[in-house]
Structure 1
């Protein structure tokens, strides 16, 4: 088990980060990679989950152990794979997700890519009453803002959302509202997800 990777953040893509340590670049798939933008070209520590299957091996990266723990709880649900778990985490609305599970709100859960009614029901059955640790603070807090052009930020956010499984039809519905705002990439992603979860 690889518990974390510590090194220089050399690349940020819509679906992953690349952290270089000892001459090796580790590709870390994560929810909303642009949350790490402020740390580009700096030494960072990324908590990881080493996902291994017979024909599939990936490293997933997280801001902290609490976020990884929620990812692992979601993975424990039958019918949810890593991509589905990341899509839920990318919303950054931990309290809202936990609340939806507690009140058995299948409609909200099915708004995430790859989660149908059957899987939403399974999430509720498996996790209801077991997520008290995730309601006190948001997992997605950014201390400092990096300066980028608005159009680039929005374009990067839309690419990251596509990497999570959202389609153009869904994104176009919220894009009109997003262009009116001047946000960082990670904030555009959270705002877009908040708008899509409301509809």
Structure 2
């Protein structure tokens, strides 16, 4: 009982701090004087600033490895909520561990997985290490748990305008996690502003608040 309580006490859901080290093997985030080693997705790694040159906010999945004699506790981090949720859904499928899930997400985005599951063609995608049988299992397990990204709130706005604004914001140096936090305002701007130049200016004003 004590071991179980100790584990729950250590669960981390979010990390915000300085990026001390950035690498595919292990990224280190320092917060309150403590450095946390986090294994991040390929997509997240691309969003992070170089080690020592900026801060980041990561959505964390805390995983207890049952294969380790001592029960190793690992942190897996994501800059985007949708990818973090897809990672958790993949872990719920028998035979898929955290690193296998990351490998899948490195080859195909979370949005593309959802779209393929809805359309029933994930087995047609060429994903390294994912055979037809495993792809069929993923589709069967997730068919009632995901919906097409085309039906998401973002897509209900002018999707092309939203994507153009997001692209411009990234060119200005904003990270995906920062943009996601302001997505509702960006959607409103996309709906109410005709010229993309004006929309980007308004979005920049939101991001700098």
The alignment's TM-score, normalised by the length of structure 2, stands at: 0.58
Inter-partner Cα distance in structure 2 for 1:128 and 1:118: 15
What is the CA-CA distance between 1:47 and the residue it aligns to? 0.9
Aligned counterpart for 2:146 among listed residues 120, 124, 131: 131
Q: How many residues align?
A: 144
Q: 1:9 to 1:76 in 2, by over 3 A?
A: same
Aligned counterpart for 1:100 among listed residues 103, 116, 121: 116
Inter-partner Cα distance in structure 2 for 1:119 and 1:63: 27
What is the CA-CA distance between 1:62 and the residue it aligns to? 0.6
What is the CA-CA distance between 1:119 and the residue it aligns to? 1.6
Deviation digits for residues 58-101 of structure 1 (CA, Å, limit 9, x no counterpart)? 10001133321111011111121111211232346333322221
Q: Give the RMSD, CA atoms, in angstroms.
A: 2.9
Q: 1:64 to 1:107 in 2, by over 3 A?
A: closer
Q: Is the 2:87–2:101 contact (alpha carbons within 8 Å) kept by the matching residues of 1?
A: yes
- In structure 2, runs of 5+ residues without a counterpart are 1-10, 156-165, 174-209
Q: 1:108 to 1:87 in 2, by over 3 A?
A: farther
Equivalent residue number for residue 26 of structure 2: 16
Equivalent residue number for residue 151 of structure 1: none
Q: 1:113 to 1:81 in 2, by over 3 A?
A: farther
Q: Is the 2:115–2:147 contact (alpha carbons within 8 Å) kept by the matching residues of 1?
A: no
Q: Is the 1:87–1:112 contact (alpha carbons within 8 Å) kept by the matching residues of 2?
A: no
Q: Is the 2:93–2:138 contact (alpha carbons within 8 Å) kept by the matching residues of 1?
A: yes
Inter-partner Cα distance in structure 2 for 1:53 and 1:83: 11
Q: 1:3 to 1:115 in 2, by over 3 A?
A: same
Q: 1:97 to 1:66 in 2, by over 3 A?
A: closer
Structure-to-structure mapping, 1:22-171, within 5 angstroms: 22-32=32-42, 33-37=45-49, 41-54=53-66, 55=68, 56-91=72-107, 93-109=109-125, 111-132=126-147, 134-135=149-150, 136=152, 143-144=170-171
Q: Is the 2:107–2:127 contact (alpha carbons within 8 Å) kept by the matching residues of 1?
A: no
Q: Is the 1:28–1:61 contact (alpha carbons within 8 Å) kept by the matching residues of 2?
A: yes
Which ranges of 4 or more aligned residues in structure 1 deviate by more than 6 Å?
none
Question: Any idea what SS the aligned residue of 2:20 has?
Answer: strand
Greater relative contact order, per chain length (Cα 8 Å cut-off, separation 6+)? 1
Q: Is the 1:79–1:119 contact (alpha carbons within 8 Å) kept by the matching residues of 2?
A: no
